[in-house]
Amino acid sequence: MDPLTRALPPLARLRPFEAAARHESFTRAAAELGLTQTAVTKQIAALEADLGVRLFDRRNRAVFLTEEGRQFGRVVSAALADIAAEAARLRGGRGAGGLVLQCQLCEAFYWLMPRLSRFHARHPEIELRVVTVLTPLTEAAEPFDVAIQTTGRAAGSARLVFTASDAIFPVCAPGVLGDTGRPVPPAALTAYPLLAHRVVPQDWMDWPAWFAAVGLTPRQNLSLISFDSFPLVLQAAVAGQGIALGWQRTVAGLLAEGKLIRPTEESVLRPAELSVFRGPRRGSHGETQALLDWLREELAEPA
């Protein structure tokens, strides 16, 4: 047996592992591959036994990549993507060109789009396709070259490249406070309807966590109006329906236009609030690096 064959794990186990690592879920991997969850579980257990390391931690009926699993997932994902791309070329197929940048909907609309012309002016030769999402990277519908999402959301085997800071503070329409002078103390905000983006799991800061971060213990029965996406929260705030939490990078334009104001001076700085990842799609390395360099430059501006 040649050395390569001895070193390689059984290839039939790599596809279930790659899907499970990308989704960070055996259930979603099984659904994608048309297998049972039991079959995926057995294949990954056999792969772990062959490698002699745990690739996933199993906790409370959920699975989480270990550091070894995350690194192995990046390698396997890249290798399978290369094989798929070359197979498509040999078949005479032509994949979609350019780079794919996956971005959370709110950051794409309020932060990325006003800046995107600067990227195109610097790199007119690069075709860039922006894909907006509400879900974490583990639920990506298609491969991507680069992704931006809130730190702490599930990222599967995507490789973290860098993080960026952001500041979080309350915002509202100018008329919400009425004749009350600004700024008001944070405790006074509980007298108003509080607009919230509530999801399970709660991947980003919400009102109880914000109040705690500024040293307050708010009353239990906060008047919360919940939405399932942050763009809806901001639109409700602009419409005067209550007070929302705003992320500096996202709401800066709305503040500059006077559509929103800051009712209180308190702010919570999060040094690594946004994360930028390199994904499994195998686009041009030089173009991908150019996009990453540009994002790093834009996000270097202090929040």
104/169 same-domain check: yes
Q: How far apart are CA 186 and CA 264, in angstroms?
A: 6
Of residues 115 and 228, the one with the higher pLDDT is 115
Local structure of residue 261 (DSSP, 8 states): B
At 115, which CATH number? 3.40.190.290
Residue 215 in this model has a pLDDT that exceeds 60: yes
67/119 same-domain check: no
269 touches 169 (CB < 8 A): no
Three-state secondary structure call for residue 267: coil
Among residues 70, 90, 110, the one where a domain terminates is 90
Local structure of residue 298 (DSSP, 8 states): H
134/260 same-domain check: yes
Local structure of residue 11 (DSSP, 8 states): G
145/263 same-domain check: yes
Task: Compute how many other C-beta atoms are within 10 angstroms of the C-beta atom of residue 7.
Answer: 7
Query: What is the predicted pLDDT for the residue at 174?
Result: 92
116/240 same-domain check: yes
Reported as a pLDDT band with limits 50, 70 and 90, residue 94 is very low
Residue 60 in this model has a pLDDT that exceeds 90: no
Q: What percent of the chain has pLDDT above 90?
A: 57
Q: Tally the domains of the chain.
A: 2
Query: What is the predicted pLDDT for the residue at 121?
Result: 93
pTM, two decimal places: 0.74
Tell me the C-alpha to C-alpha distance, in Å, between residue 248 and each of 76, 119, 125.
Answer: 37, 21, 31
33/79 same-domain check: yes
User: Mind listing the pLDDT tens digit for each residue in 141-169?
Assistant: 888 999 999 998 988 888 999 999 999 99
Q: List, as one string, the DSSP characters of 168-182.
A: EEEEB-TTTTTT--S
> Which stretches of the chain are assigned E, i.e. beta strand?
56-59, 62-65, 99-104, 128-133, 146-150, 159-171, 194-197, 224-227, 243-247, 268-278
In terms of residues, how long is the chain? 303
Among residues 50, 70, 90, the one where a domain terminates is 90
Which residues form the domain of 177? 97-303
At 49, which CATH number? 1.10.10.10
70/102 same-domain check: no
The string over 81-96, giving b where at least 16 C-beta atoms fall within 10 Å of a residue's C-beta and e elsewhere, is beeeeeeeeeeeeeee
39/161 same-domain check: no
Q: How far apart are CA 163 and CA 153, in angstroms?
A: 13
Q: How far apart are CA 9 and CA 198, in angstroms?
A: 42
Q: How far apart are CA 221 and CA 43, in angstroms?
A: 48
Residue 1 in this model has a pLDDT that exceeds 70: no
279/149 same-domain check: yes
205/74 same-domain check: no
User: Mind listing the pLDDT tens digit for each residue in 250-282?
Assistant: 999 999 999 999 999 999 999 999 999 998 777
Of 186, 164, 182, which Cα lies nearest the Cα of 249? Answer: 164
Q: What is the mean pLDDT of the chain?
A: 88
Angle at 75 between CA 11 and CA 31, to 5 degrees: 60
